[in-house]
Amino acid sequence: MLKAVRPALLCCLIAAPAIVLRLLGVELPAPVSLLIFGGAVVAASFMLAWAAEAAEFDISGGLAIAILAVIVVLPEYAVDLYFAYSAGSNPAHVAYAAANMTGSNRLLLGVGWALVVIVALAITSKRTGRTVRAVVLESGNRIELGFLAIASLVSFVIPITGQIHILLGLGLLAIFAFYLVRAATSDGGEEPDLIGPAARIGHLPAARRRATVIGLFAVAAAVILLCAEPFANALVASGRILGVDQFLLVQWLAPLASEAPELIVAVIFAVQGKAAGAIGMLISAKVNQWTMLVGSLPIAYLIGGGGSSLPMDGRQTEEFILTAAQTLLGIAVLLKLRFPRWLAWTLLGLFVCQFVIPGTTGRLILSAVFGVLAVGALIVNRREILPTLLAPFRRQQTVVAKDEQRELAAAGR
């Protein structure tokens, strides 16, 4: 039992200083606070990830993957929702309300998806002695792709209108609720295949496992609730003190903290030859970012004293266009349920380019590049567009990509 929870105890020790400072109301220089509260958020993220994965033993089917994808990004939600809530009374925070979401979204796809495929294909090619050019996804992933396509297309309303209206938010939350319903009814009776601390917790006796999972959820949630506000404020204040763009700190540093466990788990799965499952988990995370997270922002803004629409300034509008265009490219190429090597390197290369050519011009150029590539992929894969958009509404998903069938046949299965 002690061995199973030892990593969680280490995370608690890392988070302890932040909790003590928060409860005592002690204020430290912003960069120091950023390290302390940021460390606590990372520790809580790992605890959430381990607990959510271990909970798969008690939650079956696609619902487990959907819930896991929601839980592991709760730290990201906390930071974004804090900025949206505080923007209701502090207009200066409006500029940061969606920064974390766009950063984490692009990080998940541009680095997470790409890295999983690059690592998986390199290891598979080495093991088999032949060049493998694509990761073949599971047929059930078409449902998630369908939801992601619908949500991202709907979200183009945001840059067009320059705001996130509460009606749009409610619509996105409805899509997310429907996604959970579909995930709960999807196939998936296999025993979870976990690694590391999650595996040790998952293989505890049922009573101990459930108590441990609940305890980890409770502790991690408490850490996040106590640390989200000081962490968010420390991000902004540190940028001011260090002369770093505050928007960039909110957009990239916070997502690195919240997404770290998920990205690490996904890469480990890729190393173990389970790239399709890792990509499925990351696609699910993208779905809940575009639905639950974006949909919650105007509600938090309204509760915090704002109006019925969360306004987007020029920069946030550009960030939404770039994020949506990147997502559209990912969906367009994956319509055949194949993730080719060239797409992985393209996504990773374009992700890096946004730091080489920053500013409005850079964002618009990259958005155009993503858009042109997406249109080309949609034309090539046009026969798969309608089946993918309809997949979320079908009672049972039975479509398997022809390319996947050929690869399975070639493998002798």
Domain 2-410: CATH superfamily, name plus number: NCX, central ion-binding region (1.20.1420.30)
Max Cα distance, the chain (Å): 64
120-129: average pLDDT = 85
Q: Report how far Cα 216 is from the mean position of its chain's Cα atoms.
A: 21
Q: Taking the model in full, what pTM does it have?
A: 0.80
Tokens in use for 228? 């989200």
pLDDT at 403 over 50: no
Tokens in use for 258? 């919240």
Task: Identify the DSSP state of 26.
Answer: -
Scored b (16 or more CB within 10 A) or e, 328-353 reads bbbbbbbbbbbbbbebbebbbebbee
pLDDT at 187 over 60: no
403, amino acid identity: D
Dump pLDDT digits (tens) for 64-112.
556 665 666 677 778 888 888 998 888 888 888 878 888 888 988 899 8
Q: Residue ranges of the domains in the chain?
A: 2-410
Dump pLDDT digits (tens) for 274-328.
788 788 888 888 888 899 889 999 999 999 988 899 998 888 889 999 999 999 9
Dump pLDDT digits (tens) for 327-385.
999 999 899 999 888 889 999 999 999 888 878 888 999 999 999 999 999 999 999 99
Gap between the Cα atoms of 82 and 76, Å rounded:
10
**What's the pLDDT band for 1 if we cut at 50, 70, 90?**
low
Contact (CB, 8 A) for 117 and 339: yes
